[in-house]
Each structure stands twice: as structure tokens, then as C-alpha cells.
Structure 1
Amino acid sequence: MSTPGFSPKNAPATVRIDAWLWAIRAYKTRSAATAACRAGHVKLNDKPAKAAQTVVPGDTVRVRQPGYDRILEVRWLIAKRVGAEAASHCFTDHTPARPTATELGLPRRDRGAGRPTKKDRREMERLRGGH
């Protein structure tokens, strides 16, 4: 399978996990990917990953991002940053759909509805499990 900007015959034999995460556009910079690995926000096959660990096709990479975890399966190795469409062919995203606020049972206020009244605040507090 060939994708624009990427071809499997040019794929490197090994790629560091931080370089792969940068190349598929999970992080804006390689240093941000390295910092995420160092902080423990990246797991390779359910084990904390160091930035220099190599990935192989078939590996599962879990990336913690604000509010959720992204679960990616490595399809192709890529070391250089390419266009977003080409990068999307290098992994399979197994991230479950995030629940919306209404599915979580959280109250939703219309935009521009103004500041909540005292009664509204009491209801929100009761729903959150407060007093």
C-alpha cells in the first residue's frame, strides 16, 4: 500500500517512539514527544515507554492527552514528518469515542444564558455530588 509522501519500501528498519509520535503528528515537536515519554504519558504495549525505545508494526501505543487517552496501533514505521493524510496511514486509531456532557449526566447551559442563578448553582452542586 502506498500513500502520498510515504512508501513502505523507504520505511526505516527501526524508529524511536518519540520520533514516530512526532512524525505521525501526535505531538507538535519531537522534544514535546520526548518530554511526554519522560513524564510517563506514553505507554508502549501497556508499559511505560522511554523516548529511545523502538517501535515495530503491530505495537500498541497509548498516549495520554488532556481529558482522554489515545490508543494507536503502529501500521508503518516512519521517521520523518509528512503531511497529515500520509501520517494517518501509518497508524490505526483505536481510541474509544469520548462521552458528551449530556451522556455523563452533566447539566448543560445554553451559550449566552448568563450567570447561573442561586437555584441553578444548587442544582449543579447536587448533581456533582456536593451538599
Structure 2
Amino acid sequence: MRIDKYLWSIRYFKTRNMASEACKKGHVRINGKTVKPSREVYKMDEIMVRKNQINYELCVLDVPTSRVSAKLVDIYRKDTTPKEVFENQKLMQLNKKHTRQKGEGRPTKKERRDIEDYLDESE
């Protein structure tokens, strides 16, 4: 089975076209090598997929004949992604909420009060 079809069938991408684009951009690797969408997938291949700033690491256990339900995905792949990656992603999301991007304008009244309360507590 092709890598783009495999990633679509185990529900890592919503459409096969999105999986194909990820392969073309170099976000998919098999056994450490960047691959084209037409690359065949075999049992025990190690796949690395970069999606949403997370490097998912998968091991192919079996190749499905068609798209499978979400409950049956674990039959066809083993997720070996380290848990630290997901923790780092959560920390990055929390950091984005509290930083002010350049060009966003002046703080709102609520944000200004929060800043003043924070500065008063630190003194």
C-alpha cells in the first residue's frame, strides 16, 4: 500500500490529498528517509510524520485493505511517540495565550488590570 493511502487509512490525515501533500513537503519519513507519496509501506517500517509541530513516530504492524474505523487503528500501527513531545506542545500553547504579539495594539482594560495586579504582587 502507498504511504499516502496508508496514512489516510489509519486516520492521520483527513484526506488522501493532505497525506500526499505532507509527503511532497518532506513531512513524512520511512526508516529515516524522506519519501514520495507513492512509496510502498511494509510491515515493521518505522514512520515519522510531522503534523501540527509534533513528530509522530509510528511502527507499521499490518497494512489495512481500506480506511478503518478509529477503534481499529491500533491493530495496524503502534504509536511510539514520546510523551514529552505532547507535554512540550501543551506548554507552547499556554505560552501563546499569555504573550502579546507585536502589532496587536494597546492592552484592553482587563489586560491592563491583570498586568497591574501582577506588578503589585511582585513588589
* TM-score (normalizing by structure 2): 0.71
Q: Which amino acid aligns with 1:26?
A: Y
Alignment partners' CA distance in 2, 1:44 and 1:34 = 14
SS at match of 1:101: helix
Compute the displacement of 1:120 (Å). 5.1
Q: Which amino acid aligns with 1:42?
A: V
SS at match of 1:117: helix
Compute the displacement of 1:67 (Å). 2.4
- Aligned with residue 101 of structure 1, among 72, 91, 101: 91
After TM superposition, which residue ranges in structure 1, 4 or more long, deviate above 3 angstroms? Answer: 118-121
Quick one: structure 1 residues 44 and 118, their matched pair in 2 at CA, closer, same or farther if it must change by over 3 Å?
A: farther
RMSD: 2.6
Alignment partners' CA distance in 1, 2:118 and 2:31 = 45
Number of the residue aligned with 1:66: 52
Alignment partners' CA distance in 2, 1:59 and 1:66 = 22
1:81 matches 2:71: no
Compute the displacement of 1:88 (Å). 2.1
Identity of aligned residues (%): 31
- Asked if 2 retains the 8 angstrom alpha-carbon contact of 1:58 and 1:73, the reply is yes
Alignment partners' CA distance in 1, 2:50 and 2:116 = 37
Compute the displacement of 1:119 (Å). 8.0
- Structure 2 alignment gaps of length 5 or more: 99-109
Number of the residue aligned with 1:117: 115
1:20 matches 2:20: no
Give the structure with the higher percent helix.
2
